[in-house]
């Protein structure tokens, strides 16, 4: 792995990846970055139009990708997607569990459906794809599972009891599965982004975002590419001896 134009690069030619939540934001940046390194990303999302745009971006620069519309909370559909990916490309090497939502509210005002939907997509979805993807990875005796958690899962965040709980759960899941799959040469790691400039954070409003920037030692929000680069590193051969780790990418917010 080396640096080029300020960004890391890796050779992922011949690798097959699944990226959930690939229809926009972080997932799109991750899918495009893996494709630029030579991987074939299977792009998963409920947003068919967003998926089409992501796949089009990959193909426009000579990469290969395919869209797989999928609700990550649907166990049957998740299994079908993993099977279809392996059937199409012959194997599965990388899984990036990125799909996630927020439904913010103070805990005393939080509705049951706000809690349930966030836990279902952020945590259950990560579990379902991890379980399904582990089977072909175990058969091939290699794999990289990379879960997108959040600093909210490490430090909590007022108004986000559901989101913080889901991401803390992702971290616990990561560390446990890392131990279970290590003997099959499968690494399992998590990335905990801080505040990243995406459609999700844009909803916070300019005033709150200005306050957030003041709390970040580097003085800015992260970019989707900051997270995509961290995924690329963990997916590469340079991360062979890293598993069960939570990599914070937050500009120093939790330092």
Burial class (CB in 10 A: 0-12, 13-18, 19+), 173: buried
Angle (CA) 223-229-233 rounded to 5° is: 155
| 112-119 helix and 161-181 helix, angle to the nearest 10 degrees | 30
Cα separation, 142 vs 234, whole angstroms: 14
Element housing 27 (H / E)? helix 25-36
Q: Do residues 59 and 65 touch, judged by C-beta distance below 8 A?
A: yes
Select from 134, 246, 123 the least CA-distant residue to 186.
134
Active site (annotated) includes residue 112: no
Angle (CA) 85-246-150 rounded to 5° is: 80
Helices (H), 100-248: 112-119, 125-140, 152-155, 161-181, 199-202, 206-215, 224-235
Q: Do residues 159 and 104 touch, judged by C-beta distance below 8 A?
A: yes
Q: Please identify which of the residues 68, 127, 163, 195 carries the catalytic annotation.
A: 163
Q: Do residues 72 and 49 touch, judged by C-beta distance below 8 A?
A: no
Catalytic amino acids?
163
């Amino acid at each position: 792995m080396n640096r080029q134009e300020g960004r890391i690069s890796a050779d992922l030619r011949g690798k097959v990846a699944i990226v959930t939540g690939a229809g926009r934001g972080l997932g799109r940046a991750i899918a495009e970055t893996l494709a630029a390194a030579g991987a074939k990303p299977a792009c998963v999302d409920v947003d068919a139009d967003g998926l089409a745009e992501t796949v089009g971006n990959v193909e426009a620069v000579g990469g290969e990708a395919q869209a797989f519309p999928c609700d990550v909370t649907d166990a049957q559909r998740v299994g079908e997607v993993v099977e279809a990916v392996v059937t199409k490309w012959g194997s599965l090497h990388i899984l990036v569990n990125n799909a996630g939502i927020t439904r913010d509210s103070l805990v005393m005002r939080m509705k049951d459906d706000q809690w349930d939907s966030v836990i279902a997509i952020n945590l259950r979805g990560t579990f379902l794809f991890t379980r399904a993807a582990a089977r072909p990875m175990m058969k091939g005796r290699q794999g990289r599972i990379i879960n997108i958690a959040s600093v909210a899962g490490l430090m909590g965040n007022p108004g986000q009891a559901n989101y913080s709980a889901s991401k803390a759960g992702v971290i616990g899941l990561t560390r446990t599965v890392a131990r279970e799959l290590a003997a099959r040469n499968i690494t399992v790691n998590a990335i905990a982004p801080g505040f990243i400039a995406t459609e999700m954070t844009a909803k916070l409003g300019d005033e709150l975002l200005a306050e957030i920037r003041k709390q970040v030692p580097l003085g800015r929000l992260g970019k989707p590419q900051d997270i995509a680069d961290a995924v690329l590193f963990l997916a590469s051969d340079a991360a062979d001896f890293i598993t069960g780790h939570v990599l914070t990418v937050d500009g120093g917010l939790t330092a």
